[in-house]
Amino acid sequence: MLTDVQLAHFQTFGFVVLRQLFTPKELEIIKREFIDELERVYHHAPFDGTKRYYAVMLGSTTPFFASLLEDPRFCGVAEQLYGEDTIGIATDANRYVGNTGWHPDTGSYEQFGVKFAFYLQPVGPDRGALRVIPGSCKQPYFGELREQMKTMNLAITDVPGHVCVSEPGDVVAFDLRTWHASYGGSNDRWMCTCVYYNNPKTPEQEEVTRRQAVANKNVTAHFGRPGDTWLPSEWIANPKKSPKRQRWLDRMRELEFFDA
Band of pLDDT at residue 28, cut at 50, 70 and 90:
very high
Average pLDDT, the chain: 97
How far apart CA 130 and CA 117 sit, in angstroms, is: 9
Q: Is residue 87 part of a domain?
A: yes
pLDDT tens by residue, 201-214: 999 999 999 999 99
Average pLDDT over residues 69-84: 98
Judge whether 209 lies within some domain: no
Residue 151 counted as domain residue: yes
| pLDDT average, residue stretch 7-18 | 99
Non-local CB neighbours of 157 within 8 Å, separated by 6+ positions: 183
Please report the pLDDT score of residue 11 as a whole number.
98
Would you state the pLDDT for residue 185? Answer: 81
Count of the separate structural domains present in the chain:
1
* Angle at CA of residue 55, ends 95 and 15, nearest 5°: 70
What is the C-alpha separation between 42 and 50, in angstroms, rounded?
14
Inside any domain, residue 217? no
Please classify residue 219 by burial: count the beta carbons closer than 10 Å to its beta carbon, then call 0-12 exposed, 13-18 middle and 19+ buried.
Answer: middle
pTM over 0.95: yes
Would you say residue 198 lies in a domain?
yes
Query: Which structural domain, as residue segments, surrounds residue 101?
Result: 4-204
Instruction: State the sign of the Cα–Cα–Cα–Cα dihedral 235, 67, 169, 112.
Output: positive
pLDDT tens-place string over residues 117-145: 999 999 999 999 999 999 999 999 999 99
Residue 113 maps to a domain: yes
Residue 111 belongs to a domain = yes
pLDDT band at 232 (very low <50, low <70, confident <90, very high): very high
CATH number at residue 16: 2.60.120.620
